[in-house]
Homo-oligomer: A and B are copies of this chain.
Amino acid sequence: MALPREYPGQSCAMARALEIVGERWTLLILRDAFFGVRRFSDFSRHLGVPRAVLTERLEFLVAEGVFDRVRGPRGRDEYVVTDKGMGLWPVLRALGAWGDAHYSPAGPRRTFRHEGCGGAVAPGGRCAGCGAQVPVGATVLVPGPGYEGPAEGDAISAALAEPHRLLEALP
């Protein structure tokens, strides 16, 4: 049988992309990585994904060149987004924009601003202030009006609630 991640017979770029990032948890792992999460246990704690699944997903994403596994300080492995992985930011941004538009009556839970200029970054990546196309690394994540506060006793979601640049490692 075809592997469950495959979509046999679909010679389509969207299907091909979904074979890489379409499995359960994968896009949320990637979202956390954009938000600055890098370590196995931080992904695990913040997402609540079974550890075996997390191992398998990280392994696969490294093999596909979406993540790099690097030795961080104190001998800990860190998973960082590659250039290829950064190409997936528009996908996550579009998903978030749709989710906010239809399931956040109080307004967006997170907003994105152009570092320096400070203008709001539209889902397409354009800055409403200066009109520039903002690269992922120059985007600052700021809680929006619909933000509901961090989960109880979760250091990761508390750190995510502070404004910070995308892809920058959390403290």
Do the beta carbons of B99 and A16 come within 8 Å of each other? yes
User: Do A95 and B18 touch (CB < 8 A)?
Assistant: yes
Tell whether, in the assembled complex, residue A28 and residue B17 are in contact, meaning their CB atoms are under 8 Å apart. Answer: no
Stretch at the interface among A4-12, A50-58, A67-75: A4-12
A3 CB, nearest partner CB in chain B, Å: 12
Q: How far is the CA of A151 from the CA of B7 in the complex (A)?
A: 14
Let me know if A62 is at the binding interface, CB within 8 A.
no
Contact A148 B14 (CB under 8 A): no
Chain B residue contacts of A76, Cβ below 8 A: none
Q: In the complex, which residues of chain B have a beta carbon less than 8 angstroms from the beta carbon of A11?
A: 109, 148, 151
Q: Is there contact, CB below 8 Å, between B13 and A47?
A: no
A100 beta carbon closer than 8 Å to chain B: yes
Contact partner of A31 (CB less than 8 A), chosen from B12, B24, B104, B148, is: B12
Query: Quick check: is A94 within 8 A (CB to CB) of the other chain?
Result: yes
Q: Using a CB-CB cutoff of 8 Å, which residues 19-69 of chain A contact chain B? A: 21-22, 24-25, 27-28, 31, 47-48
Given known A9-B151, A87-B98, A102-B84, contact A18–B14 (CB-CB < 8 A): no
- Known A-B contacts: A15-B28, A90-B123. Give 5 more (CB < 8 A): A13-B100, A16-B103, A17-B96, A17-B98, A124-B125
- Of the A-B pairs whose beta carbons lie under 8 Å apart in the complex, a sample of 16, sorted by A's number, is A8-B48, A12-B110, A13-B96, A13-B97, A13-B98, A13-B109, A13-B110, A15-B31, A17-B96, A17-B103, A87-B98, A87-B102, A90-B94, A90-B97, A90-B123, A93-B94
